[in-house]
Amino acid sequence: MKLIIKNGTIINPVHHQHEKGDVVIEDGKIVSLGGIADVSGAEVYDAEGFFVTPGLIDMHVHLREPGQEAKEDIHTGTQAAAAGGITHVVTMANTKPVIDNMAVLRAVQKRVEEDGVVKVSIIGSVSKRLKGEQLSEMGDLSAAGAVAFSDDGHYVENANFMRRAMEYAGQLGKMIIDHAEDMTMCGDGFMNEGIISYQMGVAGRPAVGEDIAVSRDLLLSQLTGCHIHIAHVSSAKAVELIRDAKKKGIDCSTEVTAQHLYFTDDYLKNYESAFKMAPPIRTEKDRQALINGLLDGTIDAIMTDHAPHADEEKDVPFNCAPNGIAGLETSLASTLTVLYHTGKMSIDRIVELMAVNPAKLLHISGGVLEEEGTADITVIDPDKEWVVRGNELYTKSLFTPYEGISLKGKAVLTIVDGEIVMKGGKVVK
């Protein structure tokens, strides 16, 4: 069956394409791109007023399977991705058991084949059981398809161990994704350390704990030549450190979450556990530094760090709640609201940050629309205003910091391998 997306504005940064035209899809491939298509015998989707972009890619999610299916599973997590206009997610290794060997990785791949709604790539752990003591089976994991290595959720405290891990990952041609928080400084904190935490009487996680960790691992990248990717950067100083490292030619990159671009620690004054995450939401100064880092190219990608928890885990006093929020269904809308509708950033640049660059960084397919290429496509209504309600989301984790907030912009069609998986906000797979 032929599918034609008509009258949309095609946003295709790799080919510097920003023009109104039709996209014809058949047998999972893009048959033609641009111009006016003959609609006879085809299913037609009218995208007048909408953006037609390469499928969005989220390079940092936690699908929680295996072992933590009460929080999320591969089916619900990929449904949430489809609802958010994301056609490809990259899931972290901190499952139970940890993805530290080929057997677990292959089991996850099998579950993705059975229940995945969108494409899923898998990250292997740096260390066995995330303990930072013994290397994971990195060679086997790489051979089986792991796209990177990370102990995300844990900082690798031992500098010499991290050096050896980076040397090995570099030989395999894989990046290490670094959760950069020195836990000797941050481990006892629950939110950003600052005026708000002092007023609330809550122990803080100081930004300098992030800065120290970032600085150490940039130096190790310089020493080993391994590509280091700083996950979910949140502090102004860390952005500055990464900017300087790039100028020196250090092989590094970084990402920011949509929620760190939207919120500040002012939102935590009511002790709401929906805002609790690691690294924490910081100050307005930090938020502005993150936006500036995107604008000048220091920060390479916008992602979610989708880290869902069961409702009963988050519906507890603030200090008792686990870190992490669900973000797959709000990331695009939040980004459009903060950056596009304020005039700070073009839609072309947003697509680079949410599709093109993640594909390039991880050496995975996607991020571009091409004739004869795979039809992974997101259609976006930039002007659709909607109010976030946790109980209307596809994720199992209904506690969201965006609860009751009006956002502007939404994915209205998600296509994976030429198949519609979400239409009009409804996941159909």
Q: What is the pLDDT of residue 1?
A: 79
CB atoms within 10 A of CB 90: 24
**Known binder of ligand: residue 179?**
yes
Q: How confident is residue 141, by pLDDT bands cut at 50, 70 and 90? A: very high
Mean per-residue pLDDT for 273-302?
A: 98
Q: What is the pLDDT of residue 148?
A: 98
Distance CA 19, CA 373 (A): 19
Distance CA 103, CA 137 (A): 10
Q: What is the pLDDT of residue 60?
A: 98
Distance from the Cα of residue 351 to its chain's centroid = 13
Distance CA 88, CA 117 (A): 9
Distance CA 4, CA 1 (A): 10
Cα distance from N-terminal residue to C-terminal residue, the chain: 18
209 has a pLDDT exceeding 90: yes
pTM, rounded to two decimals:
0.97
Would you call 260 helix, strand, or coil by DSSP?
helix
Q: What is the pLDDT of residue 52?
A: 98
CB atoms within 10 A of CB 29: 15
Distance CA 232, CA 384 (A): 27
**Known binder of ligand: residue 152?**
yes
Q: How confident is residue 189, by pLDDT bands cut at 50, 70 and 90? A: very high
**Known binder of ligand: residue 22?**
no
Mean per-residue pLDDT for 15-25?
A: 98
Nearest to 121 by CA among 98, 149, 160: 149
**Known binder of ligand: residue 18?**
no
pLDDT in tens, 404-421: 999 999 999 999 999 999
Phi, psi (deg, nearest 5) at residue 114: -80, -40
Distance CA 152, CA 126 (A): 9
302 within 8 A of 255, measured Cβ to Cβ: yes
pLDDT in tens, 92-125: 999 999 999 999 999 999 999 999 999 999 999 9
Residues making up the chain, counted from first to last: 429
Mean per-residue pLDDT for 386-398?
A: 96
152 within 8 A of 93, measured Cβ to Cβ: yes
Mean per-residue pLDDT for 215-241?
A: 98
**Known binder of ligand: residue 88?**
no
Phi, psi (deg, nearest 5) at residue 375: -90, 80
Would you call 279 helix, strand, or coil by DSSP?
coil
Q: What are the structure tokens assigned to 316, written together?
A: 């507890």
Mean per-residue pLDDT for 49-59?
A: 98
35 within 8 A of 76, measured Cβ to Cβ: no
Domains, the chain, with CATH or none:
2-51+373-383+407-427 (2.30.40.10), 55-362 (3.20.20.140)
Q: How confident is residue 429, by pLDDT bands cut at 50, 70 and 90? A: confident
Cis geometry, peptide bond prior to residue 279 (ω within 30 degrees of 0): yes
Lookup result for tokens 């989301």: 393
Q: What are the structure tokens assigned to 151, written together?
A: 């102990």
Catalytic positions, written as ranges: 305
135 within 8 A of 165, measured Cβ to Cβ: yes
CB atoms within 10 A of CB 147: 19
Instruction: Tell me the average pLDDT of the chain.
Output: 97
Please give the share of the chain, as a percent, with pLDDT higher than 90: 98
Mean per-residue pLDDT for 255-265?
A: 98
Q: What is the pLDDT of residue 126?
A: 98
**Known binder of ligand: residue 229?**
no
377 has a pLDDT exceeding 90: yes
Mean per-residue pLDDT for 318-342?
A: 97
